[in-house]
């Protein structure tokens, strides 16, 4: 990796989306317009600890789930 711009295709919540890389979890959440404090992220079926959002670099083909709390019983 030389850090130059690349196109990443990510599966986010079941949708294929393209992003300019390199991209971290923080960058992705930001690019999606979401509030980092109100979501949780799973990357390839593994939890991404909140403390590592800025450090985890996403790879082409990664599968992510981004969730939040909604009303429920």
Binding site for other proteins (CB under 8 A): 12-15, 17, 32-35, 38-42, 45, 47-50, 65-73
Residue 66 near residue 29 (C-beta atoms within 8 A): yes
* Separation of alpha carbons 72 and 9, rounded Å: 32
* Smallest gap from residue 13 Cβ to other proteins (A): 4
* Smallest gap from residue 51 Cβ to other proteins (A): 10
What sign has the CA pseudo-torsion 58, 60, 64, 66? positive
* Smallest gap from residue 30 Cβ to other proteins (A): 10
């Amino acid at each position: 990796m030389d850090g130059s711009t690349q196109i990443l295709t990510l599966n986010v919540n079941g949708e294929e989306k393209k992003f300019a890389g390199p991209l971290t979890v923080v960058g992705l959440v930001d690019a999606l317009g979401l509030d980092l404090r109100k979501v949780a992220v799973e990357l390839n079926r593994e939890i991404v600890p909140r403390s590592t959002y800025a450090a985890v670099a996403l790879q082409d083909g990664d599968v992510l789930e981004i969730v939040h709390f909604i009303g429920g019983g």
